[in-house]
């Protein structure tokens, strides 16, 4: 087959005239390729020698094989056929071919001249397609890509032409596919259809980007295809919208807390002061002082909640034992002891992790019961645990403990464990209530704590992008793999967080 202007159906190529839009092949009646012109590699991505000797019909899309076969065998009256030819990338190139009436003696077969149908875009649009940032996709009546503009390489990472002949629906995220499919086929069947959709699309790196696509139907006599789709990358906008929604959710919670939880202790303070003024008693003042303490605690937790959901921008590396003891100094009492097992090293936000530990310790102390309490912090195979030997958490409440506002104490705020969850998730880690005996790799002297046990799970340095080993003193020494990993951190992965034993 040759791709060349259709007003020159008998023109032949020479070795000096390769063309990215047209090529020539000579084909025997039985379909064997006898000669392949110099433009074959430019159009089909295969070497000329590879095509010679093959059955040309095997390279033609099944939907067009009969028409091409009829044209080759002189059965068809019209020797002009529009069909698709397989590209080396696995996709298909749509071409319009003309089969010569007579067998060419110099080849011993019929000369087929063809041109890429997607070459029908007027020259005045070429610059727009070549330099535009949006992806322009043309789809045929079968719902398959006939053309994609060069920007597909920058936005999605696919080589231009590699998606030709394929359905774009196969690259849509499974959660969005039904919705997109309905709109897509609706546009194919309705000439007046015009729609705008936002959906996730798979990139060449198997990642997902958000696209906003505007689809318009083309006239039935349009030479280029059935639909034209203009798509732009809106991933960053979607992320901003998500952050804004999260911020609004936190604002709603903040408003709820201010309107309800702060009013109650303020009412107690006001009533206690009035009572003390009239009776000259000190008990009401003590009650008011307790209410003021609760307001102070609520204010502190509100400030923490206001930050909840923010990412970790500049993590540092520090030992778990040290930050645990700092948190205990703030919360611990004479009736409770802190036991720290063989420590882990952490890369994260030190101040926020200290807040998380303070809230976990406070939960242990406040619910630990009248007996002497032991609070344990130790590394595990997946992260670390905070556990106590108190009465534990009622099984009926286990699914509620991390819910905002949930508390079983009259003077509790219900936000402590919610704060813990938010800080942990900001690190891309997880926290769960479990049994100490079920935790893998916990290193602590027996007896094991049998009360509440909170397990924080996080990636190891290797899975997070950095490899480290602990020496005898607990410091971190880099392995041979660390140099490359540290380069990753220096090159833009400074947000990576991890826990290592």
CA angle 308, 312, 313 (to 5 degrees): 130
**pLDDT tens across 229-250, in order?**
999 999 999 988 888 887 777 7
pLDDT at 116: 76
pLDDT bracket for residue 429 (50, 70, 90): very high
pLDDT at 472: 31
> What sign has the CA pseudo-torsion 112, 115, 117, 122?
negative
**pLDDT tens across 286-338, in order?**
767 766 776 776 666 666 665 555 567 678 999 999 999 988 987 767 778 89
**pLDDT tens across 156-195, in order?**
999 887 888 889 999 999 999 999 999 888 888 877 777 8
- Residue 15 CB burial class (10 angstroms; 0-12, 13-18, ≥19): exposed
Q: What residue ranges in 105-193 does DSSP mark as E strands? A: 109-116, 135-139, 145-148
C-alpha 45/C-alpha 47 separation (Å) is 7
Report which DSSP code applies to 78: -
Residue 59 has pLDDT above 80, yes or no: yes
What single string gives the DSSP state of each residue in 86-104? E-TTSSEEEEEEEEEEEEE
pLDDT bracket for residue 11 (50, 70, 90): very low
Residue 89 has pLDDT above 50, yes or no: yes
- Residue carrying the six token digits 């991390």: 402
Global confidence as pTM: 0.44
List b or e across 404-439, with b for residues whose CB sees 16 or more CB atoms inside 10 angstroms: bebbeeeebbbbbbbbbbbbbebbbbebebeebeeb
User: What domains lie within the chain, and their CATH numbers?
Assistant: 2-117 (3.30.450.20), 123-233 (3.30.450.20), 235-307 (1.10.287), 312-500 (3.30.565.10)
Residue 199 has pLDDT above 90, yes or no: yes
pLDDT at 259: 57
Determine which of 92-96, 369-373, 428-432, 451-455 has the lowest per-residue pLDDT on average: 369-373
Strand (E) or helix (H) holding 200: strand 194-202
C-alpha 292/C-alpha 280 separation (Å) is 20
Residue 489 has pLDDT above 70, yes or no: no
């Amino acid at each position: 087959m040759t791709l060349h202007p259709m007003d020159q159906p008998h023109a032949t190529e020479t070795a000096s005239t390769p063309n990215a839009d047209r090529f020539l092949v000579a084909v025997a009646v039985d379909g064997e390729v006898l000669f392949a012109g110099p433009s074959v590699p430019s159009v089909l991505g295969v070497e000329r020698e590879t095509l010679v000797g093959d059955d040309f019909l095997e390279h033609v899309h099944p939907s067009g094989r009969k028409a091409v076969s009829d044209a080759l065998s002189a059965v068809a009256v019209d020797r002009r056929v529009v069909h698709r030819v397989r590209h080396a990338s696995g996709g298909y190139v749509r071409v319009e071919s003309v089969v010569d009436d007579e067998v060419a003696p110099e080849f011993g077969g019929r000369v087929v001249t063809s041109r890429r149908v997607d070459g029908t875009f007027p020259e005045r649009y070429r610059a727009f397609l070549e330099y535009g940032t949006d992806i322009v996709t043309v789809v045929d009546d079968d719902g398959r890509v006939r053309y994609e503009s060069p920007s597909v390489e920058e936005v999605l990472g696919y080589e231009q032409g590699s998606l030709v002949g394929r359905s774009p629906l196969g690259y849509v995220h499974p959660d969005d596919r039904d919705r997109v499919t309905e709109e897509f086929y609706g546009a194919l069947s309705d000439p007046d259809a015009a729609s705008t959709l936002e959906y996730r699309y798979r990139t060449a790196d198997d990642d997902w980007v958000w696209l906003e696509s505007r689809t318009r139907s083309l006239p039935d006599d349009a030479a280029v295809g059935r639909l034209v789709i203009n798509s732009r990358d809106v991933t960053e906008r979607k992320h901003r919208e998500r952050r804004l929604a999260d911020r609004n959710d936190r604002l709603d919670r903040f408003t709820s807390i201010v309107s309800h939880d702060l009013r109650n202790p303020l009412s107690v303070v006001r009533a206690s002061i009035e009572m003390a003024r009239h009776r000259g008693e000190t008990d009401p003042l003590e009650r008011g002082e307790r209410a003021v303490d609760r307001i102070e605690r609520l204010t502190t937790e509100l400030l923490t909640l206001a930050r909840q959901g923010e990412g970790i921008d500049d993590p540092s590396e520090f030992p778990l034992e040290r930050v645990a003891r700092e948190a205990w100094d703030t919360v611990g009492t004479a009736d409770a002891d802190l036991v720290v097992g063989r420590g882990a090293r952490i890369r994260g936000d030190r101040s926020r992790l200290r807040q998380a530990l303070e809230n976990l310790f406070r939960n242990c102390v406040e619910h630990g019961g009248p007996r002497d309490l032991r609070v344990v912090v130790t590394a595990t195979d997946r992260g670390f645990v905070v556990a106590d030997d108190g009465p534990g958490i009622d099984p009926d409440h286990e699914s509620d403990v991390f819910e905002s506002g949930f508390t079983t104490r009259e003077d509790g705020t219900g936000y402590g464990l919610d704060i813990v969850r938010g800080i942990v998730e900001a690190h891309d880690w997880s926290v769960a209530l479990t049994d100490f005996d079920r935790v893998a790799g916990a290193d602590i002297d027996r007896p094991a704590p049998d009360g509440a046990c909170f397990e924080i799970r996080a990636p190891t340095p290797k899975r997070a992008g950095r490899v480290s080993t602990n020496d005898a003193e607990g410091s971190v020494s880099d392995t041979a793999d660390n140099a490359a990993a540290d380069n990753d951190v220096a090159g833009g992965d400074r947000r990576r967080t991890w826990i290592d034993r």
